[in-house]
Amino acid sequence: MFALCVHRCYQRSARLLVARRQKSSGPVSSPLLSRLLRFLTQHFYDVEMFLNWRSQQGRNRLQKKNVFYAYTHTLYGPDIASAHYILCLGGGFRFVGHSDWFRANKRGKFSWDFLNHKDTPLEEVDLSHTVTNYSGLFNLEHQHHLRTLKLQGCPEVDDWFLAKLHVLQDSLEELDISHCPLITTGGLATLKNLKRLKHLNVSSLPRLQNPGLVIILLEEMLPHCQIIADGYGHRLRPADKVCVEEERVQGQQQ
């Protein structure tokens, strides 16, 4: 995209240059912008290298944020490690038996009071709008009392993440994966592994194809789970109507 843009700009500036030359016959010093663009087109591979390097940097940063907190784990135990990981990402959590939440503020700062509750497992975790990903989930692996997990609008939560959620299969009751841009149908099938799931929010998943059908299949797959699926516009309604009509027909027959 960038190279195309550069190419277009360069073409445009070349055209401008030609037009100017026709007007005045003297030597023309090209404007800074076009000289810069020409420089960039002559250094195509350098630009490509730079872009590669930048995306690599982004990946490394993400990796660093989602690293396994092994040091904290050995010093303070798995619960504090999980808590620290969540707060570092800017999320929030609630310990078992507590009523108040520990949260990072908007600037990512948090108080260290949670260190006082050593060996208290987590019950609710809110990682909405954070960059948690598959490898970050290793930090929550030992939370066998985790009942609620909120992952609303997480840009890095994908199907592999959902498949990995089986580590919480005996405890998780409520899962919110709405607005996650990477989730597709292929990952939703693994939610069957969560044996105790009671509430599931799958609203507004942009990459979900045929959302109406998928949600019906999901409801079929998880009969004891309440599924919230908003944000798919009118596409759900015709299917709903058909269902209602079928039920009506069945009711009349009985």
Partner 1 sequence: MSGWRRLQVKFRTAGLLTWTRVTQPHTGRGGCLTFCQSLSTGGPLRNDFFKDLEAQLAAMRKKAADALPGSSWSPFEFNPDLPPERADVVIVGGGVMGWSIAYWLKKKENKSAGMKVIVVERDPTYSQASTVLSAGGIRQQFSLPENIHLSLHSADFLRNINDHLGVVNEDPIDLQFNHSGYLFLASEAVAHIMEENYSTQRSAGAKVSLMSPTQVKERFPWINTENVALASYGLENEGWFDPWTLLNAFKRKAISMGVIQCCGEVTGFSDTTNVLMNRDGEEVHLKRIKSVKVQMPNSMEFQPVECAIVVNAAGAFSGKLAEMLGIGLGPKDSIAGLPVPVEPRKRYVYVVHCPNGPGLDTPFLIDYSGVYIRREGLGGNYITGVSPEETEEPDTSNLEVDHQFFEDKVWPKLANRAPVFENLKVTSAWAGFYDYNTFDQNGIIGNHPLITNMYFATGFSGHGLQHSPAVGRGVAELILDGEFQTLDLSDFSFRRILVQEPMLERNIV
**Could you list the residues that contact partner 1 (CB under 8 A)?**
1-4, 48, 51-52, 55, 59, 134, 159-160, 162-164, 166, 184-190, 192-193, 210, 213-214, 217-218, 220-221
Torsion angle (degrees, nearest 10) of CA 4, 8, 14, 18? 150
Please identify, using beta-carbon distances, which residue of 126 and 159 lies nearer to partner 1.
Answer: 159
Please identify, using beta-carbon distances, which residue of 80 and 225 lies nearer to partner 1.
Answer: 225
Least gap, CB of 28 to partner 1 (angstroms): 31
3-state secondary structure of 22: helix
Please identify, using beta-carbon distances, which residue of 30 and 185 lies nearer to partner 1.
Answer: 185
Least gap, CB of 144 to partner 1 (angstroms): 16
Half-sphere exposure of 66 (CA within 13 A, CB side): 19
Least gap, CB of 181 to partner 1 (angstroms): 11
Least gap, CB of 222 to partner 1 (angstroms): 9
- What phi and psi, each to the nearest 5 degrees, are found at residue 175? -135, 130
Q: Which residue has the tokens 């996650």?
A: 180
Helix axes 44-65, 2-23, angle to 10 degrees: 150
C-alpha span between 97 and 224 (Å, rounded): 26
Please identify, using beta-carbon distances, which residue of 80 and 229 lies nearer to partner 1.
Answer: 229
